[in-house]
Amino acid sequence: MGTAFLFPGQASQFVGMGADLYEQFDVARIMFDRADNDLPFDLKRLCFEGPIEELTQTRVTQPAIFVVSVITSILLGPKDMMAASAGHSLGEYSALVAAGALNFDEALKAVALRGELMQNAGNVRPGTMAAVIGMNEEQVNALCAEASTDDEVVVPANFNSPGQIVVSGDVEAVKRAVEHAKPMGARMAKLLNVSGAFHSPLMAPAAKELAAKLSETPIRPPSVPVYLNVTAKPTTNPDEIRERLIDQLTHPVLWEQTLRNMADGDELTHYLEVGPGNVLQGLVKRTLAGAAFSGAGNAEQVQAILDEGVH
């Protein structure tokens, strides 16, 4: 029983995110200003004013979503209502901060580096991703095998919800997967506007460099179990957390299974998306029939939760 805090990943960004939090809450102003001092770009300007072309660059998007998500989590106050946490890809760092496993400043440094490394990996070996709708895991595995060659690979990257799987890899291999998807049973397949082949073997150089940073980043036992993308299982073990944060760059995000494990294993009854957008609420709705879910992504929603004292 209890509430799971869910933290969004890349693609939840939008121009204006966090602006109302900054205007209405002292803590938000302090945290945004702190982050701005540590980043090589104007975080507040890009979050509040854009342009969207800059905000969607991986090196900017990841710290931006992380900062807004962590601020929102802090504004919700004591985490006695949080029974577990999880984050989608980048969101795993937000989940770990909310659970006390990482401190904000150390995590921000790791996230900023992660974004740079992933963007650079995409520049060195161009890759892309595509959403495949209406296929199960076995069918998508077959699709990827069909579209891959010795030199060009495509693999499942995000198991988001029943019938919604994202694939990732070399540009031409992903394009072939999109072409073959409908004949092999998909309802739809479309390329995504991303700067690299995230959660695929193409991110191996980024994972190697990120591992060096994480080896010197303090990680403490979290106050609640954190469900990890790579395993879809909860842990409070700092060594496992560190290892899986590295693995995460080259392995698929097992989000559908994470939600099912939360519901079946820990009997979590409410799912609160903490941070910008409502992507994860949609995935809860499609995965867990009848589950209660809500969002805390703007000042109005945060204030409503604080006023009601209901989470």
Identify whether residues 210 and 186 lie together within a single domain: no
Residue carrying structure tokens 């092999």 = 184
Q: Which of 157, 192, 227 is the last residue of a domain?
A: 192
Identify whether residues 91 and 138 lie together within a single domain: no
Identify whether residues 216 and 104 lie together within a single domain: yes
Nearest to 1 by CA among 305, 201, 291, 241: 291
3-state helix, strand, coil in the chain (%, to 5): 50, 15, 35
Q: pLDDT (tens digit, 0 to 9) for every residue of the chain, 311 residues total?
A: 689 999 999 989 999 999 999 999 999 999 999 999 999 999 999 999 999 999 999 999 999 999 999 999 999 987 678 999 999 999 999 999 999 999 999 999 999 999 999 999 999 999 999 999 999 999 999 999 999 999 999 999 999 999 999 999 999 999 999 999 999 999 999 999 898 999 999 999 999 999 999 999 999 999 999 999 999 999 999 999 999 999 999 999 999 999 999 998 777 889 999 999 999 999 999 999 999 999 999 999 999 988 886 44
Identify whether residues 134 and 254 lie together within a single domain: no
Identify whether residues 19 and 75 lie together within a single domain: yes
In the Cβ-directed half-sphere of 68, how many Cα atoms lie within 13 Å?
Answer: 34
Cis amide prior to 51 (ω within 30 degrees): yes
Q: Which of 192, 214, 233 is the last residue of a domain?
A: 192
- φ, ψ of residue 220 to 5 degrees: the values are -105, 160
Total domains present in the chain: 2
Identify whether residues 241 and 112 lie together within a single domain: yes
The answer to whether position 197 is within a domain reads no
User: The CATH number of the domain where 19 resides is what?
Assistant: 3.40.366.10
Q: Are 255 and 159 in contact (CB under 8 A)?
A: yes
Identify whether residues 47 and 144 lie together within a single domain: no
Reduced to 3 states (helix: H, G, I; strand: E, B; else coil), residue 104 is helix
DSSP state, residue 56: T
* Nearby residues of 243 by Cβ (< 8 Å), 6 or more positions away: none
Residue 180 is a catalytic residue:
no
Q: Which of 142, 174, 192 is the last residue of a domain?
A: 192
The answer to whether position 158 is within a domain reads yes
Identify whether residues 134 and 269 lie together within a single domain: no
pLDDT of residue 311: 44
DSSP state, residue 103: -
pTM: 0.96
Identify whether residues 44 and 83 lie together within a single domain: yes
User: The CATH number of the domain where 131 resides is what?
Assistant: 3.30.70.250
The answer to whether position 242 is within a domain reads yes
Of 199, 251, 270, 311, which residue is the catalytic one? 199
For the beta carbon of residue 97, count every other beta carbon within 10 angstroms: 26
Q: Which domain holds residue 146?
A: 127-192
Nearest to 35 by CA among 91, 118, 104, 115: 104
Identify whether residues 21 and 86 lie together within a single domain: yes
Identify whether residues 115 and 223 lie together within a single domain: yes
For the beta carbon of residue 139, count every other beta carbon within 10 angstroms: 17
Of 89, 94, 168, 294, which residue is the catalytic one? 89
Identify whether residues 115 and 132 lie together within a single domain: no
Radius of gyration over alpha carbons of the chain, in Å?
18
